[in-house]
Every structure is written in structure tokens, then in C-alpha cells.
Structure 1
């Protein structure tokens, strides 16, 4: 396998080194951990390898497809990857996330999968309006559309049908849960670190779209739900998005495998990078002891 994966026992994999990756690398170094950054774009290899040297890799690749394939490539070569390729694939696909959450018996918004834009119109009729139309893969609320009625849905889906990618024609239709807050819970190693809620003037509460993160006292039921959601998808490190209904009851909206935590950390004062570094130190110690990481 080519690429700088032998530079250190702990490798942070990313094609873009953002504030989060810089903080994680700094936290590892403060703990005396030999670590290095590897650029995902440099990786190439065969589908088999040796597990003799099992490097520990934190997968922070921002592109979903490249993150999944990087994970499978590295795991095939004997590396231990956090989050695993399987978890990355589930979390990066909204339908597969919904399936995993549903199979775990967790509360979620009602969700239908439509294999064509035409079928999506039927699914929306069954869900009722207003509703939300989502692509299978995407971040920061891009291409997520609130549809108020059937006429608006038909117009949106006409544009979806004109997109060039066949995968883009597969549509997630979801009920719009209104009246409550959008909550982000960061989970690391089975622990809910804390929570923020997102204040916004619009209906999409993505920080990347201008929403502001406000610290929130995390209730035990919210913490338990977030940990169960991360566990259902296999994610060791996750940003779990909850949505409250008008009565304050939380449902799981999404589980993000490559959580961006700068806004969360600034709002709460919680050292997320430090918690991630501590989790990796524990995993590394387990590997060195010959245990199952």
C-alpha cells in the first residue's frame, strides 16, 4: 500500500486539515502520542495485506465515498480504522442510517425510501405535508428541501429527475418534525460529552448554513438516546442530531461519522479533541497489548 501510513502509530487521515484535525493532532501530541497526518488523496493499494503492524487510523476524510473506500482499503491492509468503514458507510447514507436506527428500535421521524422521483410523490402523499425531501448522501443541509404541498413537491422532484446521477434519483421522503429544537450531541467511545441546540431563522438548523450553536444542559434521556444511536450505526465517534417535537420528545435525525465540533466546543467549553485523543490512546493501548481493538 502506498501512502504515509508508517509515519506514526496513530494516523489522522484527511484530505483537508481543518481546525478539528489540527486540534486532534495537537491533543495527541500533548499526550505524548506519536502521530501523523496522511492525505487520503495519496492512498493506493491492493485488496489484501498483512495485519502484522496494525496501525491505528482516525478517518477524518470529508468526502463520503473516499472515506468509505479509504476505510475498506486500510482495513484490508490490517489497519484498525476509527470510525470503521462499515460505520462510515452507514452514517453517510441517510437511508441506511434510518434502517439501522429503526432496527435498534429508536424513535425517528417517519421515513420513506422512493426509488424514483415519481414514487417519491406517492410517498409524500402518504406521509402528509409539510414534509422534507432529502438526497441519500450529503452534508450541511445541501439539497434538503421542505415541501409545503403536493404542487411544490412535484416541482422539486421534477428537478431531481433531471439530475445526471442515477443515485440522485433515489429520494428520501421524511416527515417534518416541527415545534421543537434541533440538538447536537457529541458521542465519543460510548459517552455523550454534551449537547448544543441550534438557533436559526430558517427551518434548517445546520451551523454550516448560519445557525448558531448554544450550549444545552443534556438530559439523561437525550444522552442515552444519542449513545444508542451511535452504537446502532457502529460509530465510536459521532455527532448525533436529535429533533424534538412540540412536546419536547426527542427523535434521532442523523448520525454524523466525521463530526465537525468547533462550534460545539466553542459553545460548551468541552474539549472534544481531547476526548477523541483519549479514546485513541485507549484503542492504541489495547492494540499494543494484543487485544481486540
Structure 2
């Protein structure tokens, strides 16, 4: 019986250490399970169309793996790999949902999942010419409010707005960038819970706290500590993963005013070093076990 092989795909245009670290970390987990991993840049695999058909172009196009661990957000490449019949984790559809916060919140609402009051900014082409919608936004969301760009990771592209002048200035700066307006949950200022879900179950959890920023992300100085989630928190995080269709997800939860957990966001490409360093739990081991149970034998 031949050894199971996998591709671990990362973005070749993101040279930061943390992206390669995720690829190497999961490759090591694969090897521990007897899987032969191959770390590949997304720009080594190009989606090509010819004569009404689609292909992979590049020097790896004839070496198909048993599955792909997709550590990137190149949705069209992920979908092309699925078209070739290769199991992809996470799926292209689930990455697409999580990658765009407007899409993500709309999906959560469709599934009745609780998150802070949110308004999707209307579509803008070029410069912002008509700002009349801001009156509705202020009336419904109130200050202070959080403005989240639709695309962004690690707490980046998230802005705290204190008043009308700041809001109008930011709207003009963002122009035709997609974004959402969201109420700030004061009871969760500078703290949240990250729960890693694998195969619909919580496998690791940590509390993140910041003394200096409304965002609890480690990238902005947040500190972590092991955390035992309540059943309500675990169930909510698992429901998020199901709604988004993710095999694995890092779900961030806020502490609501009355103690009710609220969803901050779902990460389909959650990095796992920090939660390992915090809890000693290697989420990648759980990911590989799940994949081996799932892929055709």
C-alpha cells in the first residue's frame, strides 16, 4: 500500500514567518501520522483555461496528492483542486465564507447564530459621493462602534470609531473597500476566547486579553492563558463551524453584557502555534486525525 501524500499550500507572496510556520507545523504533524507532506506555494500551481476546459499549470501539475491542506485564501485555486477530485481542507466554499466578513455575518444570521449588531456598508464605486446612510448607522449602532474591513486577519483592518467626525473621515478613507459597521461590546473590551474546532468538536481553547487595545489579538499585544469554555461557548463555536462548512476553524467569541457569548468571527485558516504555546495542545494532530478518518481509504 502506497504512503498517503498531501500538499500543504501557502501563499508565496506572504513571506512573513508565521505563514511558513503554519505550513511547517502542519507538515510535521502529517509526518507523525505517516503522511508524506509537500509544502507548496500557491503561485507554483496556476489555474489555466484552454479549449473550454480548466487545468493546473506548473511543474507540479502531474503529481496529484491524496488530499490538500489549504493554508491560503486563493479560493479559485482551492476550487480547481476540488474540481480535480482532490479532497481540500478547508473547502473553497468555507474559505470564501470566512474570508469576507460581510459574507460570514450574513451566513451566521441565516443560521440564527448570535453576534453583535452589524450593518454591511453599501457598495461604493470609486470615491464615496453619498454618505447619507451614516445617519442610519449611527442611530442603529451608536458610538463607540467598530468598523471592520471585509478582508483582514490578525485583528488588522479593524477600526474603533468614537464619534461622527471619525466615522465620516474613515468612510471617506475606505472609499470602495468592503466593510461592516458593528457595535462595540463594552463587556468584552480587550478580551475574547479563541476556540479551535476540528470535525465539529472543540479541541483547544484560550482566553486572550489586552491591556492596551480593544482587540485581544496576540498580534496587537494580547496575552493568552488556558481557558475552559462553557458548554454554551463550545456549542456556539461548533455551530459556527457547521454554518461555514469548515472542517477546522478558530472561532473567536466575545463576552456579551449579560454573559451570553457572541461570535466575533470565524477563521478558516487559524494559525495554531499560539494556542499550542498556551495550552500544550497541538491542534494539527487533531486535524490530521480528522483528515485520515475522512478521506477515502
Tell me the TM-score normalized by structure 1: 0.85
Matched with 1:84 is 91
**8 A Cα contact 1:196 1:214, kept in partner:** yes
| Partner SS for 1:179 | helix
Q: What is the aligned counterpart of 2:33 among 31, 46, 69?
A: 31
CA RMSD in angstroms, aligned pairs only: 2.0
Deviations 1:105-159 (A, max 9, x none): 1111111012145255234212111111111111122221111111221122121
**8 A Cα contact 1:184 1:239, kept in partner:** yes
Matched with 2:59 is none
Question: In structure 2, how many angstroms separate the alpha carbons of the residues matched to 1:153 and 1:137?
Answer: 19
Change (3 A) 1:199 1:157: same
Question: In structure 1, how many angstroms separate the alpha carbons of the residues matched to 2:227 and 2:113?
Answer: 22
**8 A Cα contact 2:4 2:34, kept in partner:** no
Question: In structure 2, how many angstroms separate the alpha carbons of the residues matched to 1:280 and 1:105?
Answer: 28
Matched with 1:22 is 24
Question: In structure 1, how many angstroms separate the alpha carbons of the residues matched to 2:133 and 2:154?
Answer: 22
1:175 pairs with 2:183: yes
Q: What is the aligned counterpart of 2:260 among 235, 241, 249?
A: 249
Matched with 2:79 is 72
Q: What is the aligned counterpart of 2:167 among 133, 139, 153?
A: 153
Question: In structure 2, how many angstroms separate the alpha carbons of the residues matched to 1:187 and 1:26?
Answer: 20
Q: What is the aligned counterpart of 2:206 among 193, 196, 204?
A: 196
| Partner SS for 1:18 | helix
Deviation larger for 8-17 or 122-131? 8-17
Tell me the TM-score normalized by structure 2: 0.84
